[in-house]
Amino acid sequence: MGKKKLLGRVLAITLMLSLIFSITACGTQQTALNSAASDATRNEIKEVTITDHLGREVSISGDVERIVSGYYISTSMLIALGLEDKLVGMEAQAKSRPIYSLAAPKVLDLPDVGTAKQFNLEGCLALKPDLVILPVKLKDSIETLEKSGIKVLAINPENMELLKEALMFVGKATGTEERAARLNNYYDDKLAAMAEINKGIKDRKTVYLAGNSALLSTASSKMYQNALIESAGGKNAASEINDTYWATISYEQLIAYNPDIIIIVPFAQYTKEDVLNDQKIQQLKAIKNRAVYKMPDKFEAWDSPVPSGILGTMWLTSILNEEQYPFDRFQADAAAFYKEFYQIEINTEEITK
């Protein structure tokens, strides 16, 4: 081989090796840059600011990994938003809530932090939560926790709009806004559908909603239950009461109301038969027509502003206007709701009139 050919081949090999080394170096450098960018993304601190139902601005930085719920409504919200694994403490009497054992049985073993009447501040602090969710009535406890450096959201879901706001508070604080929005969209769609069903009603039936403790306990116009009745196409018998929440009335007042329908809330301490057999109210239209209904209680208290509370409106719509909204369609809708938002299959035969 001539010297020129040999020299040319050596030069070609040298250039090729230089190119390979250059590509390798660039690849290594790009990998390092990508890794640095990834680390920067992981280390980026997320911060959101929420104005809660006490008007407080709550700023939350970073991921929320440990949550305490002092309220059954917020606990149900957390389960509906898929956050049950982040719960480290919750309200007392959890075993009395069927939805917990059905959708998130692990929460039943969590430490309890008392009730709205007797909240356990020390127990809550010992759990070292990133976020605590409490009802607005626990204002003093909220202030104490805040002074201890704990982030607290105060909620007051006493109507559908406030419930939707509370869901978005929690969704924003925990990175589950999309799921919270899906729930809110579901409410809007169903309320619009119920309004369409009821728009032709000229004479709305008067509904007396009897509370948990006794027949003579009823929901005033200030309660979530008032909106439930109205959205279902009924008229709340006690709508003129606006100076309290759960009102205690007399038999004389109940007779004056003379409701078309009596609804007994879930988990009531008395039965439908007790009401039908009460000799003091036999002259009522609802008693004469045996129009006394117990709202189902196999899952949750649908008369409450829990995420599934919309089902209470839908159930009552079916009672008041079954021609347009047959009861079997409501049962199917309820089953679909729990499958989508709680990932559970329910037995529709447990949903009764």
Tens of pLDDT along 162-197? 999 999 999 999 999 999 999 999 999 999 999 999
Q: Does the pLDDT value for residue 6 go beyond 80?
A: no
Q: What percent of the chain has pLDDT over 90?
A: 80
pLDDT band of residue 353 (cuts 50, 70, 90) is confident
**Do 175 and 214 reside in the same domain of the chain?**
no
User: Is residue 127 a part of any domain in this protein?
Assistant: yes
**Do 297 and 179 reside in the same domain of the chain?**
no
**Do 227 and 128 reside in the same domain of the chain?**
no
**Do 224 and 115 reside in the same domain of the chain?**
no
Number of domains in the chain: 2
Q: Does the pLDDT value for residue 140 go beyond 70?
A: yes
User: Is residue 110 a part of any domain in this protein?
Assistant: yes
User: Is residue 206 a part of any domain in this protein?
Assistant: yes
pLDDT band of residue 323 (cuts 50, 70, 90) is very high
User: Is residue 234 a part of any domain in this protein?
Assistant: yes
**Do 308 and 207 reside in the same domain of the chain?**
yes
Q: How would you write the chain as a 3-class SS string? A: CCHHHHHHHHHHHHHHHHHHHHHHHHHHHHHHHHHHHHHHHHHCCCEEEEECCCCCEEEEECCCCCEEECCHHHHHHHHHCCCHHHEEEECCCHHHCHHHHHHCHHHHHCCECECCCCECHHHHHHCCCCEEEEEHHHHHHHHHHHHCCCEEEEECCCCHHHHHHHHHHHHHHHCCHHHHHHHHHHHHHHHHHHHHHHCCCCCCCEEEEECCCCCCEEECCCCHHHHHHHHCCCEECCCCCCCCCEEECCHHHHHHHCCCEEEECCCCCCCHHHHHCCHHHCCCHHHHCCCEEECCCCCCCCCCCCHHHHHHHHHHHHHHCCCCCCHHHHHHHHHHHHHHHCCCCCCHHHCCC
**Do 149 and 53 reside in the same domain of the chain?**
yes
Q: What is the pLDDT of residue 18?
A: 52
Q: What is the pLDDT of residue 37?
A: 42
pLDDT digits 0-9 by tens, 287-321 = 999 999 999 999 999 999 999 999 999 999 999 99
* 6-15, 163-172, 241-250, 343-352, range with the lowest pLDDT: 6-15
User: Is residue 95 a part of any domain in this protein?
Assistant: yes
**Do 141 and 206 reside in the same domain of the chain?**
no
Q: Select from 127, 156, 183 the last residue of a domain.
A: 183
**What CATH number is given to the structural domain containing 64?**
3.40.50.1980
**Do 64 and 95 reside in the same domain of the chain?**
yes
Residue 96 domain boundaries: 47-183
Q: Does the pLDDT value for residue 153 go beyond 80?
A: yes
Q: What is the pLDDT of residue 110?
A: 97
Q: Does the pLDDT value for residue 25 go beyond 60?
A: no
**Do 290 and 230 reside in the same domain of the chain?**
yes
Q: Looking at residues 208-215, what average pLDDT do you find? A: 97
User: Is residue 194 a part of any domain in this protein?
Assistant: no
Q: Select from 183, 217, 249 the last residue of a domain.
A: 183
User: Is residue 193 a part of any domain in this protein?
Assistant: no
pLDDT digits 0-9 by tens, 85-118 = 999 999 999 999 999 999 999 999 999 999 988 9
User: Is residue 10 a part of any domain in this protein?
Assistant: no
Q: Select from 117, 148, 183 the last residue of a domain.
A: 183
Q: What is the pLDDT of residue 201?
A: 85
**Do 55 and 127 reside in the same domain of the chain?**
yes
pLDDT band of residue 9 (cuts 50, 70, 90) is low
Q: What is the pLDDT of residue 158?
A: 82
Q: Does the pLDDT value for residue 34 go beyond 60?
A: no
